[in-house]
A and B are shown apart, each in its own frame.
Chain A
């Protein structure tokens, strides 16, 4: 039965050696090993968590960006549209203004022409009157030699002038 009978010496040494081994390994091996394993795991977890958060932030930023872009695009469109409207308006206004001014100018020109025409007519009448008086004077000087003839002649002239 020596196989299943524990030897006292080996029991003694085993208790001593195993307790020492347990103590030394626990203190100088397992503690730092398990601690650094844990630290490494924590840092990996932390890094993964940070990466996940950064990704989320990036996604958020990107969606913000896109929103901004869309807004800017919409703004540009409205601004362009407004500008086009303003341009059309200006052109239309300019057109109406130009045509009215042209009308004014034409009207003024017509008036001027009429005025000039009237002035010219008055001048002509004045000239005609002057010529008539001069002619009449000449004639009168010529005819005044004879009274009768003078009177008939004056009447005749006056008749012509009135006809004019």
Chain B
């Protein structure tokens, strides 16, 4: 755990979220990620520093607290340091990061399959449980990253670079679970539509129908226009994918607990899909507007065109960062409130017990807020994707006759 990089990390996210805030057209969402991250920095930085200040190690006396503390403590290769001080920053980062095992409670964790592809030696597949004893098959697990090692125990840099870790990590496992869940839900809803053709919806079908109708009528039709139909499959998939993973991320135990939509790789792929679909379905007039906005004087184009070209890439980038920052920020706050109990508990047991109701209240309050954010972020991602698709397929009517009506075209 690089302690120095911790304050840097949220700062960079903060900057990104400010970039996104400029482009976000819904004012209410602008401050939210920034606010969450500011909170996160406030909480996590003093906690990390407190590490060096405190001297005594208070052993929590209640059994349940001990169990949770065990969970909070990184399950490292040093079982000797069991009474190590509680480190909130480390605990939080560990909880929101990906992992090669699915941690349940205390020292209990489900090992997950490790899959490594090496350009020379091909695939190596084995259980992550092998890393408990140290190096295995020429690889070593260092802070959730797999590095190749030589037989004498030194790190082999060349082989590390040519090895690609495509293991089923906690996030991949959660991804597969949520994908199967989505398939199960919507295939059964679809079969209900087939079975009950022409009849009123029932059960799960009637729960999903208003949401599907909302996405179709208020997101797709409203933002894309008459050509909305071909974007519906992506919009619906992305909405329900984000929603179900946001909600599962809020469940603190097994099928949930993975911070999938708060992972930059996941949001990057989602944003990439939006970007590819936007660029693929964009009309000639969209590209003309990007490269040379019609009806704009040439000297303005010198400034406008680079901005427009930047905007094409910035929009999906902002989508990626917004979802990542919102979900990660929410998780950090909840974990910070929980950490407070252990920080106070280390000072004195009584203080820890006294702080816990307050912490719990705030953690529950934040969880409720996160429930709202789960829906909100799924909605925002879908809506903004739809708006980008809409701008890509939009017909610019003034363009055909902008030669005659130059003045009118300019303020379109």
| Chains A and B are bound partners | yes
Residues from chain A with Cβ under 8 Å of B232 in the complex = 30, 34
Which one of B5-13, B48-56, B69-77, B394-402 contacts A? B5-13
Count contacts on A: residues with CB < 8 A to the other chain: 35
Residue among A2, A3, A17, A24 with max Cβ neighbours from chain B (10 Å): A3
Question: A50 to chain B: closest CB distance in Å?
Answer: 15
Question: How far is it, in angstroms, between the C-alpha of A28 and the C-alpha of B192 when the chains are bound?
Answer: 12
A3 touches B9 (CB 8 A): yes
User: Does A93 make an interface contact (CB < 8 A)?
Assistant: no
B167 touches A21 (CB 8 A): no
Question: How far is it, in angstroms, between the C-alpha of A29 and the C-alpha of B181 when the chains are bound?
Answer: 13
CB within 8 Å of A: which B164-200 residues: 164-169, 171-172, 175-176, 179, 182-183, 186-187, 189-190, 193-194, 197-198
A6 touches B233 (CB 8 A): no
Of the candidates B193, B212, B213, B266, which one forms a contact with A10 in the assembled complex, judged by CB atoms under 8 Å apart? B266
User: Does A113 make an interface contact (CB < 8 A)?
Assistant: no
Residues from chain A with Cβ under 8 Å of B197 in the complex = 36, 39
**Contacts A8-B164, A40-B198 given: A28-B187 contact, CB under 8 Å?**
yes
Question: B173 to chain A: closest CB distance in Å?
Answer: 10
**Contacts A10-B171, A10-B265 given: A30-B165 contact, CB under 8 Å?**
no
A37 touches B182 (CB 8 A): no
User: Does B98 make an interface contact (CB < 8 A)?
Assistant: yes
**Contacts A11-B268, A40-B198 given: A22-B172 contact, CB under 8 Å?**
no
CB within 8 Å of B: which A1-49 residues: 1-15, 17-18, 20-22, 24-26, 28-34, 36-37, 39-40, 43
From A31, which residue of chain B is reached at the shortest CB distance? B233
Residues from chain B with Cβ under 8 Å of A37 in the complex = 193, 209, 212-213, 216
B96 touches A25 (CB 8 A): no
Question: How far is it, in angstroms, between the C-alpha of A21 and the C-alpha of B176 when the chains are bound?
Answer: 10
Residues from chain A with Cβ under 8 Å of B172 in the complex = 9-10, 13
Residues from chain A with Cβ under 8 Å of B233 in the complex = 22, 25-26, 30-31
B12 touches A4 (CB 8 A): yes
The digit string for B131-166, where 1 denotes a CB below 8 A from any CB of A, is 000000000000111000000000000000000111
From B100, which residue of chain A is reached at the shortest CB distance? A9
**Contacts A33-B189, A43-B198 given: A7-B234 contact, CB under 8 Å?**
no
Question: A99 to chain B: closest CB distance in Å?
Answer: 86
Chain B, interface size: which category? 35 or more
User: Does B29 make an interface contact (CB < 8 A)?
Assistant: no
A21 touches B164 (CB 8 A): no
User: Does B93 make an interface contact (CB < 8 A)?
Assistant: yes
**Contacts A29-B189, A33-B189, A37-B213 given: A4-B9 contact, CB under 8 Å?**
yes
From A41, which residue of chain B is reached at the shortest CB distance? B213
Question: B225 to chain A: closest CB distance in Å?
Answer: 17
Of the candidates A4, A14, A25, A43, which one forms a contact with B186 in the assembled complex, judged by CB atoms under 8 Å apart? A25
Residue among A28, A29, A31 with max Cβ neighbours from chain B (10 Å): A29
Residue among A14, A24, A39 with max Cβ neighbours from chain B (10 Å): A14
B96 touches A13 (CB 8 A): no
Question: How far is it, in angstroms, between the C-alpha of A4 and the C-alpha of B209 when the chains are bound?
Answer: 36
User: Does B328 make an interface contact (CB < 8 A)?
Assistant: yes
User: Does B241 make an interface contact (CB < 8 A)?
Assistant: yes
User: Does B264 make an interface contact (CB < 8 A)?
Assistant: yes
Residues from chain A with Cβ under 8 Å of B32 in the complex = none
User: Does B263 make an interface contact (CB < 8 A)?
Assistant: yes
A17 touches B176 (CB 8 A): yes
**Contacts A13-B166, A13-B172, A43-B198 given: A4-B193 contact, CB under 8 Å?**
no
Residues from chain B with Cβ under 8 Å of A21 in the complex = 179, 182-183, 237, 241
User: Does B374 make an interface contact (CB < 8 A)?
Assistant: no
Question: How far is it, in angstroms, between the C-alpha of A25 and the C-alpha of B208 when the chains are bound?
Answer: 14
Residues from chain A with Cβ under 8 Å of B229 in the complex = 34
B190 touches A29 (CB 8 A): yes
- Beyond A13-B175, A29-B187, A33-B189, list 4 extra A-B contacts (CB 8 Å): A3-B9, A6-B263, A9-B172, A29-B190
Q: List 23 A-B contacts (CB under 8 A).
A: A3-B93, A4-B264, A6-B263, A6-B264, A10-B175, A10-B265, A11-B269, A13-B166, A13-B172, A13-B175, A14-B266, A14-B269, A18-B241, A21-B179, A21-B183, A22-B234, A25-B186, A26-B234, A29-B186, A32-B190, A36-B193, A39-B198, A43-B198
- Could you list which residues of chain B lie within 8 angstroms of chain A, going by C-beta atoms? 5, 8-9, 12-13, 93, 96-98, 115, 143-145, 164-169, 171-172, 175-176, 179, 182-183, 186-187, 189-190, 193-194, 197-198, 209, 212-213, 216, 229, 232-234, 236-237, 241, 263-266, 268-270, 273, 324, 328
Top 4 A-B pairs, shortest CB-CB distance: A26-B233, A6-B265, A29-B186, A10-B265
- Could you list which residues of chain A lie within 8 angstroms of chain B, going by C-beta atoms? 1-15, 17-18, 20-22, 24-26, 28-34, 36-37, 39-40, 43
